[in-house]
């Protein structure tokens, strides 16, 4: 289970940052930044990949109730413009910026899952496998993963053929078959090879211009898109 050894090496408060959604063919990349409370953090925080959807949901709600949370969302059209690496860096930056806009202020140090840091002026440390080593990063991984899953489940209502309620936009067999049959939607990342190879254009030419994320995810003082 992740602990607090990394957090204790730096001045408080320390934020953990992680992302969800680098690999899918459709939907946004989502990052979360979390400052855990000194007391009262929920038990069971772990790498989101090791938790069930039910456990992530429970911990997500507990974290939003007790921790400082910032969320950054970068949509598919911007992923195509920036590439997925820089879109992920932007999502992380937005999430951390949201913490600094919080009434209680931002972190003194930031722990980021992975081996690269965004180009920002904040004091930060990259930790490979951080979601399994740092409790703050584990918390961020849970918030990012649950938030993105909710977005894709909501989009599945509009685009049922792609089975996003189950695959969350990843390139599973059902999703790839639907992509070949129906072509890409406005939520697909056209810079990703399986989407670029899809022969059929989206029927009515919709775009993401002016698109609003579902479920009110842009609302609230802790969220910044």
Q: Strand pairing of 68-74 and 14-20?
A: unpaired
* Residue 204 is assigned to a structural domain of this protein: no
Residues 27 and 133 in one domain: yes
Same domain, 37 and 92: yes
Question: DSSP assignment, residue 18?
Answer: E
- Predicted structure pTM score: 0.88
CATH for 82: 3.30.420.10
In a domain, 125, yes or no: yes
Same domain, 125 and 179: no
Please state, rounded to an integer, the average pLDDT across all residues of the chain: 89
Q: Which domain holds residue 180?
A: 159-196
Residue 203 falls inside a structural domain: no
Nearest-5° Cα angle at 75, 67 to 203 = 145
Q: Is 97 annotated as a binding residue?
A: no
Q: What is the pLDDT of residues 15-54, one digit of tens each?
A: 999 999 999 999 999 999 999 999 999 999 999 999 999 9
CA angle 113, 51, 132 (to 5 degrees): 30
Work out the percent of the chain whose per-residue pLDDT is above 70. Answer: 88
19 assigned to a ligand binding site? yes
């Amino acid at each position: 289970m992740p602990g607090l050894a990394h957090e204790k090496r730096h001045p408080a408060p320390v934020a953990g940052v992680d992302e969800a959604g680098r690999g899918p063919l459709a939907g946004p990349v989502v990052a979360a930044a979390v400052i855990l409370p000194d007391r009262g953090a929920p038990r069971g925080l772990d790498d989101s990949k090791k938790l069930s959807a039910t456990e992530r949901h429970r911990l997500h709600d507990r974290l939003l109730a007790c921790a400082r949370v910032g969320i950054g969302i970068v949509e598919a059209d911007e992923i195509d413009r920036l590439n997925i690496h820089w879109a992920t860096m932007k999502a992380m930056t937005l999430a951390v910026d949201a913490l600094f806009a919080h009434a209680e202020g931002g972190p003194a140090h930031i722990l980021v899952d992975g081996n690269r840091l965004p180009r920002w002026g904040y004091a930060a440390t990259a930790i490979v496998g951080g979601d399994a080593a740092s409790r703050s990063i584990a918390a961020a991984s849970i918030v990012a993963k649950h938030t993105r899953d909710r977005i894709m489940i909501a989009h599945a209502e509009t685009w049922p053929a792609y089975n996003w309620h189950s695959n969350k936009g990843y390139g599973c067999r059902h999703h790839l078959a639907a992509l070949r049959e129906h072509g890409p939607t406005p939520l697909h990342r056209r810079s990703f090879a399986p989407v670029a190879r899809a022969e059929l254009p989206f029927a009515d030419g919709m775009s993401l211009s002016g698109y609003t994320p579902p479920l009110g995810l842009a609302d609230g003082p802790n969220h910044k898109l």
